[in-house]
Structure 1
Amino acid sequence: MPNPVIHVANHATLPVCIARDPNWDDQVLLIGGRPSRQTRCLDPGANASIGIRLGADTEPEENLMGVIFADAKDVAHGNVGAYHATIGHDPQTGLLAVTDEHIAGVPSTRYEVANQTQWSMDMTFVDA
């Protein structure tokens, strides 16, 4: 079973910070293939691949991983604009997608999803 991978590109003029969602406490978010429990910010023009490792018996599902994309590292205190995104398989297409999101505050960026396959997708952040 392949692991889901999201290719994130920051085309905005401000950093985009990536954090694991604390509601998914057993999830180990991989950034650049390495486990990360800390928020990592992508400077304008930077790219990163994020994902998780799945067990051998994991089937495609709508709720695979939780990721926060925020305006700053201080995600935990809720003082920044952020997208709390659930990534999984779209039940209609079977492709990897943002299957649910909660928007906190007013994010300075917006994102577009493209090049979706069953196990990967691109997310490009631009100025809102």
Structure 2
Amino acid sequence: MCIARDPNWDDQVLLVGGRAAEKARCLRPGASTSFGIRLGADTEPDENLMGVIFGDGKVFGFGMKFDYENAGAYQSTLGHHPDTGLLAVTDETKLGTPSFKYSVTDQTQWSMKMTFEDA
């Protein structure tokens, strides 16, 4: 599974494992990492906080090139759920047919856990 910044959010710096990710970062099975963006002390809750792409790694690992015929991904917006105020996936577009699915647990206002597994 690979994590990449969404190019539609061109002013966003995606952090993966605490480091800026200019290109997709791929994880081996069973690995874990953190990802997010830097927020200021005065950041207000927002339904559209960050954009990220979770891809299955097929023709995805070098930069942002995405092969729709051979790869699958979720182009996701993460932010605060308008009803609960908890961090959540607030919008999503499936690209191709991802070979994995995910679940969200342990949600708080500023963090959540995402678990990815084979579809």
TM-score (norm 2): 0.91
In structure 1, what residue type is equivalent to 2:66? H
Q: Aligned-pair distance for 1:50?
A: 0.1
In structure 2, what residue type is equivalent to 1:124? T
Q: 1:57 to 1:78 in 2, by over 3 A?
A: farther
Contact 1:78-1:104 within 8 A present in 2 as well = no
Determine if the alignment matches structure 1 residue 81 to structure 2 residue 81.
no
Which structure has the highest strand share of the two?
A: 1
Q: Aligned-pair distance for 1:77?
A: 2.8
Cα RMSD of the aligned pairs, angstroms, is: 1.1
Q: Percent identity?
A: 66
Aligned residue number for residue 27 of structure 1:
12
Q: Aligned-pair distance for 1:76?
A: 2.6
Determine if the alignment matches structure 1 residue 48 to structure 2 residue 39.
no
Q: Map 1:1-128 onto structure 2 (within 5 A).
A: 16-72=1-57, 73-74=60-61, 75-79=64-68, 80-128=71-119
Question: 2: CA distance between counterparts of 1:126 and 1:68?
Answer: 16
Q: Which runs of 5+ in 1 are unaligned?
A: 1-15
- Stretch moving more, 87-96 or 54-63: 54-63
Q: Which runs of 5+ in 2 are unaligned?
A: none
Q: Aligned-pair distance for 1:38?
A: 1.0
The runs of 4+ residues in structure 1 deviating greater than 6 Å are none
Q: Aligned-pair distance for 1:21?
A: 0.3
**Number of matched residues?**
113
TM-score (norm 1): 0.84
